[in-house]
């Protein structure tokens, strides 16, 4: 369940190019958010339409071409979670989840599951001729890149990126659009959602961080010079991280405002709250500690505010006054959602408006080595001070810090041997401290943050 067991390092060259490309700003302006691949009108042609050896199924990268052409090979060999997402639905865990929920259909035939565990457009939007489209391909190319009906032919005869997007290619290079896409499955959207009933039936808890998960997926693209010349955005990892947090909050607020998702009988929907607020041992009677950012007393369930705390760290560097605003909003939201003081819906709506205004600022954020150092210092100081004591916040902080430290390497602030030593030592200890929600001890995580901070001092 915890993704960072894999080595987060992607091809070094790609990392360096990200830095270069981030300086040469490019990008395609969009009017209104693009429609997610599953809900758009274009037919899905199937993975078999992409995997030809002269298309995207080359055995190795083709460095003489604008794209690597081995995207399919990377997906099938290394993006195992997405490739096997459908097959998971055939295993005993999935069958038990469905049985517990009293579902009539088997999980691999149930839209409830297929909507996230495969590319699942409506039947009429699948190219069935010659068995081209197969739902058992799992989370295939078009689940992210959009149904290829209109762009398939033009895109291999030299049409521009902007033209492809006009023809229905999903703008995965745009970090805001990418965050919405990943989160539609890794959190949920208005049509699909892992609520507490699914959790109760045995579905694993969701956690997501855009930059780290992009690295781990792993990259099957190379944001090199040519990539930017073709008009594609190549956001740095840190920008991806910040935008990912802002969009995650927006999605949580949307769920909170959505009458189909925000209730569980008499109760509010539990997945919006910190799992550990309810799920911890009864014998830990002195676990409760006041937290400044909530302003809540003991004995109430707290919202999961991990992404809010992360975004606050980014806003401190992008627009200081706005960070204070987010702190005020978050406190008000906590008081309303857990203590009935104030109108949670009104606060959520206000905050969504502000997030819409912060996103362009985050998109324009210039991340250089100095910014990276400042962010790292902030995150580690707050972590050491115990500001991220809840499991969910500690886990997000650890993912952020993993991404930040990886970028020390990308920006040349540390060399390979130093990164390797951190990965075996302090980083490994930090990740181990947040690996298991059931054995999580805040003091141990705090200690690991402190040790990492000491190691990075002066870098």
Tokens of 274: 């910190």
- Least distance (Å) between residue 53 CB and ligand HEC: 12
Residue selected from 14, 19, 113, 177 as contacting ligand HEC according to rule CB under 6 A: 113
Shortest distance (Å) from residue 214 CB to ligand HEC: 4
Residue with tokens 């405002």: 257
* Nearer Cβ to ligand HEC (33/204): 204
In the set 18, 167, 194, 367, which binds ligand HEC (CB under 6 A)? Answer: 194
- Binding of ligand HEC by 108 (CB under 6 A): no
Residue 325 to residues 151, 252, 330, 347, Cα–Cα distance (Å): 43, 18, 9, 12
Interface with ligand HEC by CB under 6 A: which range of 184-192, 238-246, 249-257, 308-316?
Answer: 184-192
Q: Is 9 in the site for ligand HEC (CB under 6 A)?
A: no
Tokens for 371, please give them.
């910014």
Residues 279, 439 contacting (CB under 8 angstroms): no
Least distance (Å) between residue 222 CB and ligand HEC: 6
Residue 352 touches ligand HEC, criterion: CB under 6 A: no
Which one of 12-20, 128-136, 276-284, 338-346 is the stretch in contact with ligand HEC (CB under 6 A)? 276-284
- Among 15-23, 109-117, 370-378, 448-456, which window interacts with ligand HEC (CB under 6 A)? 109-117
List the one residue from 173, 269, 329, 387 that touches ligand HEC (CB under 6 A): 173
What is the Rg, in whole angstroms, of the alpha carbon atoms belonging to the chain? Answer: 22
Nearest to 363 by CA among 212, 239, 214: 239
CB atoms within 10 A of CB 235: 28
Q: For residues 41 and 102, give the distance between their C-alpha atoms in angstroms, rounded to a whole number.
A: 32
Single out the residue of 277, 269, 212 nearest to residue 240, CA to CA.
Answer: 212
Among 207, 236, 446, 448, binds ligand HEC (CB under 6 A): 207
Q: Indicate the SS3 state at residue 268.
A: strand
CB of 328 to ligand HEC, least distance (A): 24
Output the smallest distance, CB 391 to ligand HEC, in A.
10
As a whole number of angstroms, the distance between CA 125 and CA 137 comes to: 16
Sign of CA dihedral 291, 293, 295, 300: negative
How far is it, in rounded angstroms, from Cα 350 to Cα 342? 13
Longest Cα separation, the chain = 66
Residues that bind ligand HEC (CB under 6 A): 1, 3, 47, 50, 56, 67, 71-72, 75, 81-82, 84-85, 88-89, 93-94, 97-98, 107, 110, 112-113, 115-117, 139-141, 143-145, 172-173, 178, 181-182, 184-186, 188, 192-194, 196, 199-200, 203-207, 213-214, 216-217, 220-221, 227, 232, 270-271, 273, 275, 277-279, 301
């Amino acid at each position: 369940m915890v993704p960072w067991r894999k080595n987060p390092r992607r091809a070094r060259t790609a990392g360096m190019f990200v830095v270069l490309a981030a300086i040469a700003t490019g990008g395609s302006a969009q009017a209104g958010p693009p429609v997610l691949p599953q809900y758009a009108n274009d037919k899905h042609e199937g993975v078999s339409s992409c995997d030809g050896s002269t298309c995207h199924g080359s055995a190795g990268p083709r460095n003489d071409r604008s794209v690597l052409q081995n995207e399919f090979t990377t997906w099938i060999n290394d993006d195992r979670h997405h490739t096997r997402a459908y097959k998971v639905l055939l295993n005993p865990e999935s069958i038990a989840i469905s049985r517990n929920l009293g579902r009539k259909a088997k999980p691999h035939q149930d839209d409830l599951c297929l909507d996230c565990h495969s590319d699942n457009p409506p039947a009429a939007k699948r190219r069935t001729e010659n068995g081209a489209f197969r739902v058992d391909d799992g989370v295939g190319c078009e689940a992210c890149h959009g149904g290829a009906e209109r762009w398939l032919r033009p895109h291999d005869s030299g049409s521009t990126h902007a033209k492809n997007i006009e023809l229905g290619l999903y703008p995965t290079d745009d970090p805001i659009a990418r965050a919405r896409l990943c989160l539609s499955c890794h959190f949920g959207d208005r049509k699909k959602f892992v609520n507490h009933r699914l959790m109760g039936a045995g579905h694993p808890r969701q956690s997501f961080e855009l930059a780290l998960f992009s690295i781990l997926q792993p990259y099957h693209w190379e944001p090199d010079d040519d990539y930017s010349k073709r008009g594609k955005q190549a956001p740095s990892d840190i920008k991806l991280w910040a935008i990912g947090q802002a969009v995650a909050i927006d999605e949580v607020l949307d769920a909170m405002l959505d009458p189909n998702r925000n209730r569980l009988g008499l109760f509010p929907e539990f997945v919006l709250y910190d799992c550990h607020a309810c799920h911890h041992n009864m014998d830990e009677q002195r676990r409760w500690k006041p937290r400044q950012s909530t302003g809540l007393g003991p004995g109430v369930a707290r919202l999961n505010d991990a992404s809010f705390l992360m975004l606050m760290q980014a806003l401190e560097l992008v627009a200081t006054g706005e960070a204070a605003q987010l702190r005020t909003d978050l406190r008000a939201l906590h008081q309303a959602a857990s203590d009935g003081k104030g109108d949670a819906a009104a606060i959520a709506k206000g905050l969504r408006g502000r997030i819409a205004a912060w996103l362009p600022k985050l998109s324009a954020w210039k991340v250089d080595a100095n910014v990276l150092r400042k962010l790292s210092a902030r995150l580690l100081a707050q972590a050491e001070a115990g500001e991220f004591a809840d499991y969910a916040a500690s886990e997000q902080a650890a993912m952020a810090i993993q991404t930040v430290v990886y970028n020390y390497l990308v920006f040349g602030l540390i060399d390979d041997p130093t990164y390797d030593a951190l990965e075996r030592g302090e980083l490994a200890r930090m990740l181990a401290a947040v690996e298991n929600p059931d054995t999580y001890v805040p003091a141990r995580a705090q200690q690991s943050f402190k040790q990492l901070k000491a190691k990075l001092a002066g870098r």
